[in-house]
C-alpha cells in the first residue's frame, strides 16, 4: 500500500484527502479502485493513440482485470497491454498511474475476495463502456445519450462504492437498493459539473459533451462555443443554464445518498460530503457565468479549506449538510 498511497497523492491530492478519511479496509479498497480507473482514463483520453487502438487496449485492460489470478501476480508483466502502459507518455496524473499499473494490480490481487470481485467487475464494466463511447465518438443526440456516457465513467463508480459500503458499513445494506439508484445519480452530478468545467477546452480535443437536443435545430453543438466576439452567444449561455439545472437535480440525489449513510460512519460520510460540496460550490461559480466558456473556473484554496474544516466538524449532521449546501449554492 505505501506505493499506492504515493500514487494516489501524486495523481489527485483532493481525492487522497477524502479516501484518507475512510476506515480500513475501505480505504485500501477504494484506493485500488480509484487507481484502476485512472488507468482506464489514460487509455481513453491519451492523444497518442488512434481510436481503434484505444478500443483494443480498453478491451484488453478489461480482460486483464476479469482474468486476474491473485496467486500469480507476475503474469501481467508479460502481456501486450503491460508494455504499452509502462511506456505511457506525458505528465498527466493518468499517465503517471498507468506507468505503475503492475503495482496497482498487485493491490487488487491483495484485496479480500469479496472486495476484489466488486472492484474488478465494476471497473471492467466502466472500461468497456468507455470503449463503446470511443467507438461511437462525440455524438450525443439527446440527454439520454449524455447520461449513458456519464454512467459509464461516473455512475458506475457510484454503484461500485455503494456495493463496498454495503459490505463494510453496518446499517447500509438495509437501504442498499435505494442507495444504488442514488449512487448512480451522485456520479452523474459530479460528472455534469465536470462537463461544465470543461466547456472551454473539451471542444479543442474533439469532444463536445452537449446533446444536439440542447441547441437549436440544425446547429452543430461543437460550433456554439467558438464565437469570435467577447460575449458568448445566447445559444451557448442557454446550454450552460440547461447543464447547470441538470447538475442541480443530480446533486439533490447526492444529498439524499449521503444522508442514508449512518452518522456513526463519519469517515465514509465525509468521503461523500467533500466532493459533493466542492461540486455545489463549483456549480455556483459557474452558473450563468460566461467566463466558464473561456477559462476554467475554480474554487479558491481558502474556500476548499473552509468547506473541509466545516465538514470535518459537522458533516455528521443532516441539517448542517442542507444548510451548507444552500449557503454554497447562493455564494454565501
Res 77: pLDDT = 61
Res 16: pLDDT = 87
Q: Which has more pLDDT, 30 or 231?
A: 30
| Average pLDDT rounded to a whole number, residues 121-143 | 95
Lowest mean pLDDT among 74-88, 175-189, 213-227: 74-88
| Distance from C-alpha of 125 to C-alpha of 120, rounded to nearest angstrom | 9
SS3 assignment, position 206:
coil
* Residue reference for cell 462504492: 161
Per the CB < 8 A criterion, the answer to whether 180 and 159 are in contact is yes
C-alpha cell at 5: 498511497
Res 188: pLDDT = 98
What contacts 24+ positions apart, CB below 8 Å, involve 203-211? 205/47, 206/138, 207/138, 208/138, 208/140, 209/138, 209/140, 209/146, 209/149, 210/140, 210/146, 210/239, 210/243, 211/140, 211/141, 211/142, 211/143, 211/145, 211/146
CATH code matching the domain that covers 138-332, chosen among 3.40.50.300, 1.10.510.10, 3.50.50.60, 1.10.600.10: 1.10.600.10
Residue 149 has pLDDT above 70, yes or no: yes
| Average pLDDT rounded to a whole number, residues 245-258 | 98
Cis bond before residue 25 (omega within 30° of 0): yes
| Distance from C-alpha of 260 to C-alpha of 133, rounded to nearest angstrom | 32
Residue 174 has pLDDT above 70, yes or no: yes
SS3 assignment, position 223:
helix
Task: Write out pLDDT tens, residues 279-311.
Answer: 999 999 999 999 998 888 889 999 999 999 999
| Distance from C-alpha of 216 to C-alpha of 194, rounded to nearest angstrom | 23
Where along the chain do its domains lie?
Answer: 1-113, 138-332
* Residue reference for cell 466488486: 118
pTM of the full structure: 0.93
Average pLDDT in the chain: 91
| Distance from C-alpha of 31 to C-alpha of 19, rounded to nearest angstrom | 7
Residue 209 has pLDDT above 80, yes or no: yes
Which residue, among 103, 124, 88, has the nearest Cα to 35 in the 3D structure? Answer: 103
C-alpha cell at 115: 472486495
Amino acid at each position: 500500500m505505501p506505493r499506492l498511497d504515493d500514487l494516489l497523492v501524486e495523481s489527485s491530492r483532493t481525492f487522497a484527502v477524502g479516501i484518507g478519511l475512510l476506515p480500513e479496509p475501505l480505504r485500501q479498497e477504494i484506493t485500488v479502485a480509484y487507481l484502476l480507473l485512472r488507468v482506464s482514463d489514460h487509455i481513453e483520453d491519451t492523444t497518442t493513440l488512434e481510436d481503434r487502438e484505444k478500443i483494443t487496449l480498453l478491451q484488453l485492460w478489461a480482460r486483464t482485470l476479469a482474468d486476474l489470478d491473485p496467486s500469480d501476480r507476475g503474469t501481467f508483466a508479460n502481456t501486450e497491454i503491460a508494455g504499452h502502459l509502462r511506456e505511457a507518455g506525458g505528465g498527466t496524473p493518468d499517465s503517471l498511474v498507468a506507468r505503475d499499473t503492475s503495482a496497482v494490480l498487485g493491490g487488487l490481487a491483495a484485496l479480500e475476495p469479496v472486495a476484489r470481485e466488486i472492484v474488478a467487475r465494476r471497473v471492467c464494466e466502466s472500461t468497456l463502456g468507455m470503449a463503446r463511447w470511443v467507438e461511437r465518438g462525440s455524438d450525443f443526440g439527446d440527454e439520454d445519450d449524455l447520461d449513458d456516457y456519464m454512467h459509464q465513467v461516473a455512475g458506475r463508480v457510484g454503484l461500485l462504492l455503494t456495493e463496498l459500503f454495503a459490505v463494510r458499513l453496518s446499517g447500509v445494506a438495509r437501504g442498499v437498493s435505494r442507495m444504488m439508484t442514488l449512487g448512480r445519480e451522485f456520479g452523474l452530478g459530479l460528472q455534469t459539473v465536470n462537463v461544465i468545467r470543461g466547456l472551454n477546452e473539451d471542444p479543442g480535443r474533439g469532444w463536445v459533451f452537449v446533446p444536439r437536443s440542447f441547441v437549436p435545430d440544425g446547429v452543430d453543438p461543437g460550433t456554439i462555443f467558438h464565437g469570435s466576439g467577447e460575449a458568448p452567444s445566447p445559444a451557448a449561455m442557454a446550454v450552460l443554464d440547461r447543464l447547470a439545472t441538470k447538475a442541480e437535480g443530480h446533486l439533490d440525489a447526492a444529498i439524499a445518498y449521503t444522508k442514508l449513510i449512518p452518522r456513526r460512519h463519519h469517515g465514509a460520510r465525509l468521503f461523500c460530503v467533500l466532493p459533493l460540496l466542492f461540486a455545489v460550490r463549483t456549480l455556483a461559480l459557474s452558473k450563468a457565468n460566461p467566463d466558464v466558456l473561456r477559462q476554467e473556473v475554480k474554487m479558491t484554496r481558502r474556500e476548499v479549506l473552509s468547506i473541509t474544516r466545516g465538514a470535518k466538524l459537522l458533516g455528521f449532521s443532516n441539517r448542517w449538510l442542507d444548510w451548507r449546501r444552500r449557503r454554497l449554492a447562493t455564494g454565501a
